[in-house]
């Protein structure tokens, strides 16, 4: 692997607030991604995100320091509120962001037609993982980068990269959604809200915990979805990562996937060799300290690889941040095949 290829990896980090944006840039982020304080953003949590005025000020601040700002309009427009998505795109263009991350076809069309100077990145919510799908978005809407679905192996990304003309961005750290991106409405069955419908999965106000007889029960809208011994590490309670009784044994088990965090730091060189342009950290709902730590660790790992050194010294720095206290490389290695 050419060290220069790895060094050229763009480090894209989460910014759930102006303070988080500053923390990410100061810790070494090349780019930060953020969202507006409404349902156009798939991390629509109370107390997070940006107003149009805050976005413009933050973008100016980042540009002064050589960093780029990407605005995520990564939910799908509701039929009765499409003006909100268009207005958000207009506000992002006025703020001077370096790119808009979107998946909704009508929104992509609006941006391409009305703000041709604004760079378009295709959100992972579009679940575009084939040359044909990616070529469609590039041809019809001028998309310059695709955020890859988290179901591809490194080898599959390498093959895909040979057949497309746009840049690619891959998640390397943070919460690992186990559902098909852009297709999940599971949370809405319990809480009435889901990421693609309203920009939030398992909204905090619907989550509760109770401790009884040495066990902690996690509930979503009153439905028990996991039970653990008190003190045992557990993930944030979402239905897809819940533990339920079923089958002939009636034993409790995770229905879809264990609550574990993605950490692909050990695969940075392989991803760069597969043609990946940028690596992305998940976590806009996390705090400023989290963003600073994760950004600094991946900055150090990328820089080490760029010098021809091993990233191994940095691979254990984030162990205590993992959801459920466990980490995985996700589908990148696809060991089940």
The CA distances from residue 208 to 167, 230, 231, 271, in Å, are 41, 15, 16, 38
CB atoms within 10 A of CB 336: 5
Count the alpha carbons within 13 Å of 183 in the hemisphere toward its beta carbon. Answer: 7
**Cβ atoms 324, 234 nearer than 8 A:** yes
Q: Which two tokens stand for residue 172?
A: 């390397």
Q: What is the pLDDT along the chain (337 residues), one digit of tens a residue?
A: 677 777 799 999 999 999 999 999 999 999 999 999 999 998 888 899 999 999 999 999 999 999 999 999 999 998 889 999 999 999 999 999 999 999 999 999 999 999 999 999 999 999 999 999 999 999 999 999 999 998 899 999 999 999 999 999 999 999 777 666 666 777 888 888 877 666 678 888 889 999 888 888 889 998 888 888 887 777 777 887 777 777 677 777 776 666 678 899 999 999 999 999 999 999 998 999 999 999 999 999 999 999 999 999 998 899 888 766 678 887 887 654 4
pTM as predicted: 0.84
Going along the chain from its start, the domains and CATH numbers come out as 3-176+260-332 (3.20.20.70), 186-254 (no CATH)
Q: Greatest CA separation found in the chain?
A: 61
């Amino acid at each position: 692997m050419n060290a220069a290829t790895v060094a050229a990896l763009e480090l894209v980090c989460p910014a759930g607030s102006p303070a988080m944006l500053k923390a990410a840039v100061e810790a070494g982020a090349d780019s930060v991604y953020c969202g507006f304080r409404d349902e156009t953003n798939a991390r629509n949590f109370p107390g997070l995100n940006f107003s149009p005025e805050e976005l413009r000020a933050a973008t100016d601040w980042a540009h002064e320091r050589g960093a780029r700002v990407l605005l995520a309009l990564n939910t799908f427009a509701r039929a009765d509120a499409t003006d909100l998505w268009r207005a958000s795109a207009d506000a992002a263009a006025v703020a001077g962001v370096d790119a808009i991350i979107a998946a909704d076809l009508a929104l992509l069309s609006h941006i391409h037609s009305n703000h041709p100077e604004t760079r378009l990145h295709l959100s992972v919510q579009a679940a575009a993982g084939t040359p044909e799908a990616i070529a469609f978005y590039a041809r019809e809407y001028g998309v310059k980068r695709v955020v890859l679905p988290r179901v591809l192996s490194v080898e599959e990304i390498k093959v895909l990269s040979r057949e497309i003309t746009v840049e690619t961005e891959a998640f390397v750290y943070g919460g690992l959604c186990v559902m098909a991106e852009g297709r999940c409405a599971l949370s809405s069955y319990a809480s009435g809200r889901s990421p693609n419908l309203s920009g939030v999965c398992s909204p905090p106000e619907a989550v509760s915990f109770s401790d009884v007889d040495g066990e902690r029960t996690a509930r979503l809208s009153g439905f028990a979805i996991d039970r653990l011994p008190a003190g045992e590490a557990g993930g944030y309670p979402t239905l897809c990562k819940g533990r339920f009784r079923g089958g002939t044994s009636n034993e409790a088990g995770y229905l879809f996937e264990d609550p574990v965090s993605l950490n692909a730091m050990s695969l940075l060189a392989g991803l760069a060799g597969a043609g990946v342009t940028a690596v992305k950290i998940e976590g806009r709902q996390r705090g400023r300290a989290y963003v600073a730590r994760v950004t600094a660790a991946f900055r150090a790992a990328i820089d080490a690889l760029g010098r021809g050194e091993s990233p191994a010294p940095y691979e254990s720095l984030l162990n205590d941040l993992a959801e459920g206290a466990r980490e995985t490389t996700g589908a990148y290695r696809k060991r089940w095949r």
